[in-house]
Structure 1
Amino acid sequence: MVNDKQSPMHFEVHGLKGANAPTLVFSSGLGGAAHFWQPQIRDLSDTYRIVVYDQLGTGKSPATLPEDYTITHMAKELRTLLVHLDIKQCHIVGHALGGLVGLALASTHPALVQSLVLINAWSSPNPHTLRCFNIRKAILAAGNKDIYLQMQALLLYPADWIAANAEHLSQEEAHQLRHFPNEHNLLMRIGALSAFNIEAQLADIHTPTLAIANKDDVLVPWQRSKILVSHMPNAELALMEYGGHASTITATSEFNNILRERLSQLA
Structure 2
Amino acid sequence: MRDMKIERDGVTLHARLDGVDDTNAPTLVFANSLGTTLHMWDGIVPLLPDGLRIIRYDKRGHGQSDVPDGPYTMGALVSDAAAVCDAFTVKDALFVGLSVGGMIAQGLAVKRPDLIRAMVLSNTAAKIGNGPMWQDRIDAVLDKGLSSLADVTMQRWFSRDFLMSPQLKHWRDMLTSTPPAGYAGVCAAIAGTDFYTPTSGLRIPTLGIAGSEDGATPPDLVRETVDLIPGSQFSLMRRVGHLPCAEAPDAYAKILIDFIAATGHMTT
> If the length of structure 1 is used for normalisation, what is the TM-score?
0.89
Quick check: 1:170 aligned with 2:169? yes
Q: Which residue of 1 aligns with 2:194?
A: 197
In 2, the alpha carbon distance for the partners of 1:135 and 1:4 equals: 33
Report sequence identity in percent: 22
Cα distance per residue 1:78-119 (max 9 Å; x no partner):
111111111122110000000000000001111210111011
In 1, the alpha carbon distance for the partners of 2:225 and 2:173 equals: 36
8 Å contact from structure 1 (residues 123, 198) kept in 2: yes
Letter in 1 for 2:118: S
Q: Which residue of 2 aligns with 1:101?
A: 104
CA drift at 1:134: 5.7
In 1, the alpha carbon distance for the partners of 2:162 and 2:36 equals: 22
Q: Which residue of 1 aligns with 2:29?
A: 25
- CA distance 1:255–1:54, change in 2 (3 Å): same
Q: Which residue of 2 aligns with 1:3?
A: 4
What does 1:63-212 align with in structure 2 at a 5 Å threshold?
A: 63-67=67-71, 69-126=72-129, 131=133, 133=134, 136-137=137-138, 139-143=140-144, 145-165=146-166, 168-170=167-169, 173=172, 177=176, 180-212=177-209
Quick check: 1:222 aligned with 2:223? no
Letter in 2 for 1:78: A
8 Å contact from structure 2 (residues 18, 54) kept in 1: yes
CA drift at 1:130: 6.9
Decide which moves more: 91-100 or 10-19: 10-19
Q: Which residue of 2 aligns with 1:51?
A: 55
In 1, the alpha carbon distance for the partners of 2:112 and 2:6 equals: 26
CA drift at 1:230: 2.2
What CA RMSD, in Å, does the superposition of the two structures yield over aligned residues? 2.2
More helix by share: 1
CA drift at 1:201: 1.7
Cα distance per residue 1:41-72 (max 9 Å; x no partner):
111162411001111221111131443x2212
In 1, the alpha carbon distance for the partners of 2:152 and 2:244 equals: 17
Letter in 2 for 1:81: V
- CA distance 1:218–1:87, change in 2 (3 Å): same
Quick check: 1:246 aligned with 2:243? yes
What are the ranges of 5 or more consecutive residues in structure 2 without an aligned counterpart? Answer: none
SS of 2:210's equivalent?
strand
8 Å contact from structure 2 (residues 44, 253) kept in 1: yes
- CA distance 1:163–1:197, change in 2 (3 Å): same
- CA distance 1:215–1:110, change in 2 (3 Å): same
CA drift at 1:172: 5.4
Cα distance per residue 1:240-267 (max 9 Å; x no partner):
1221001111011111111110111112
> If the length of structure 2 is used for normalisation, what is the TM-score?
0.88
Letter in 2 for 1:170: K
- CA distance 1:214–1:130, change in 2 (3 Å): farther
In 2, the alpha carbon distance for the partners of 1:17 and 1:45 equals: 14
